[in-house]
Amino acid sequence: MNEKEQATKQVEWDKLATQYREEVGDKLGRGLDEQTIDAVVGLNLLGFETTASCEGHMDHATGGPYLDIRCKAAELFEPKERAIYEAQGLDYRDNAPIEFSPEKYKEWEQIMEQKDEVVMSHVPAVQALLDEFHQSYPIGTFVARGIGDEIRIEPEEVDIYNGVVFDQSRLKKYQQELKEFSKFIKDKHLSTKNTHNDKVEKLS
């Protein structure tokens, strides 16, 4: 890649990073955690659309950093889910499946199993990126997991379904890996000739 192409890639990176810093935040109006911005920018430029991220905190969330990636294929199940809720006069966002009739609950479970299979079929694409990263950072522990409609990158020891880890020394280790992963992602973006507009959605 020549200097002009590299400069174009850097401009592309800087533009998206500025956009995320100024425009993207959570429901409470807080911006992205600073330590996640480079990873978020890089993943999106590589074709992995992120939906949420966290640099890791000792007082909330999972106790470790995470990056959530949209799986568009999983979203195709939403109309079926909504139909079950509406058939029972329930709001899709405000009611829990425990309120379903036994018949509808079984129907909902079948849809969830199908959706989980779709999400899990897309996990290897994200894990392949992590495997490539771990070739240069072999002490890393980040893995890709299916979480609902999305795929989450997080430390292997931290699992939202099996308990969280609140430990300062581990958090520092996880955050160092996030820093190294962010550098890897940025280097990968800057070394490829494709531009953001040429990227194909990885998890459609």
Q: What is the pLDDT of residue 202?
A: 55
Structural contact between residues 70 and 150, judged by C-beta atoms closer than 8 angstroms = yes
Q: What is the mean pLDDT of each run of 10 residues along the chain (204 residues)?
A: 82 89 65 85 93 78 83 92 89 79 91 94 96 95 93 85 68 92 93 53 56
- One-letter identity of residue 167: D
Where do the structural domains in the chain lie, given as residue ranges? 3-71+119-198
Q: What is the pLDDT of residue 198?
A: 43
Give the distance, in angstroms, between the CA of residue 25 and the centroid of all CA atoms in the same chain: 15
Residues 6+ apart with CB under 8 A from 72: 201, 203, 204
Q: What is the pLDDT of residue 192?
A: 75
SS3 for 66? strand
Distance of alpha carbon 203 from alpha carbon 119, whole angstroms:
9
Q: Are strands 66-70 and 142-147 parallel, antiparallel or unpaired?
A: unpaired
Q: What is the pLDDT of residue 179?
A: 95
Q: What is the pLDDT of residue 68?
A: 94
Q: What is the pLDDT of residue 55?
A: 86
Structural Rg of the chain based on CA atoms: 19
**Is the whole model's pTM more than 0.95, yes or no?**
no
Q: What is the pLDDT of residue 1?
A: 66
Q: What is the pLDDT of residue 199?
A: 42
- One-letter identity of residue 161: Y
